[in-house]
Amino acid sequence: MQPQQLVLAIGILWLATLVALPFLFATARRRAHAAGLAKGKTIKDAAHVHQIRMVERHLADKQAELVNAQKAFTAHMEARRQVIAELEDRIMSYTGLAVTKADYQALIAVCETLETAGRTWKQLKGAEAWVARTEQQGRSLRELATRIRTELPTLNTKAGDKGAAA
């Protein structure tokens, strides 16, 4: 080959290379971009997986805390319920009126006995202190018997039934 032909062939080859070079650069750039994007997605996915594991671990800890708090709350509420039940029992023992009709009748009998003792002692000289004491205790017991009578529902209803029947 002659040198002109050779220069012409090299020139054509150089022109073909210049035409193909932008295409090759674009392809290389796209491949590099795709490779970088894939690597970035892999890193991002790994970071997300790590964050999800941390959140799940934190959530499990919080659930365990919640279960413990619920158990403590349940135990505390049960203790309160027991205290409330105990206090209600105490209150009911006070308001449930622990005396009966027989107790009321015994109080009336004691009052009558004290009045009889007081009348008897009035006849004796020097027993004025005992007479005053029996009268005062008789009045106190009579007042107590009156309060009990108003509190006893069985006495009030039975007295009402007798009055209605008579």
DSSP for 109-137 reads: HHHHHHHHHHHHHHTSTT-HHHHHHHHHH
Residue 153, pLDDT score: 66
Span 79-102, average pLDDT: 80
Residue listed under structure tokens 């009402």: 160
Q: Residue 149's pLDDT band (boundaries 50, 70, 90)?
A: confident
**152, 104 Cβ separation under 8 angstroms:** yes
What pLDDT digit, counting tens, does each position of 25-65 carry?
Answer: 999 999 999 999 999 999 999 999 999 999 999 999 999 99
